[in-house]
Amino acid sequence: MRVATSCPTCPDSATARRQPIAISASPPAERLHALLTALNITQFDLVGHLMGGYIAGRYASVHPQQVRTLAFIDAAGVPFEANAFLLALERGENPYKVTTRDEFDAFLGKVFKHRPFLPRPVQDVYADRVIARADDWTIAMNALKAPDQRFGLVDVLPILDMPSLVLWCRDDQVLDVSSIKTFAAGLPNERVLILDDCGHMPIMERPRDTADALAALWRSVYAAN
């Protein structure tokens, strides 16, 4: 199966240094709409991970006629059972804030169940970029704690009636796999897949399984048409 892909991303710790910005779903969703309009893309399959999943859901709720299928991969925006990450947020801490290379190394251990190989010089360069954005991560985490952002997908899930995929890693230490309960209860046309032995980044730890799940979703729609 061959597909054309476009992978826009939000400004984050991997990008060049810029002024801190408030984080919410609406502005990125509006920018995504402007990008797709400029590219003259009128219908597409939308996939989002973490905050990208939250943005994808909000986008689809406003522009449902454009979204053929929708995929949430370890996505933010719904409640889940308390884990160490959530408890740290509720204590006012920022589990994502990294101020040293050693903290970045520990952070990778939380995000991945099985860390991919990364040469130390490359890891250090990436760590330095993340360290430079430490204050921005604090702004992002504070925004995600706000009630209208933290559970911002719950109210719109029932109107997202396009074929949907909810994919999660069972050992996600950031957004607990119990998030799936809300997605499954709210989405009217969903399929759910839980992958074992991986953490918060199935697209990196289980790329083949993630790709196969997405391809199966898309084939189910294209075959029907």
DSSP structural state of residue 169? E
Mind spelling out the 3-state secondary structure of 90-110? HCCCCCCCCCCHHHHHHHHHH
Domain ranges of the chain: 26-224
Q: Which is the CATH superfamily of the domain at 26-224?
A: Alpha/Beta hydrolase fold, catalytic domain (3.40.50.1820)
Which residues lie below 8 Å from residue 59, measured CB to CB, with a gap of 6+?
29, 32, 33, 46, 67
pTM (predicted TM-score): 0.88
> Among residues 10, 2, 93, 56, which one has the least CA distance to residue 187?
56
> pLDDT in tens for each of the 225 residues of the chain?
566 777 776 654 344 445 544 455 677 888 899 999 999 999 999 999 998 999 999 999 999 999 999 999 999 999 999 999 989 888 888 888 899 999 999 999 999 999 989 999 999 999 999 999 888 877 777 776 777 778 999 999 999 999 999 999 999 999 999 999 999 999 999 999 999 999 999 999 999 999 999 999 999 998 876
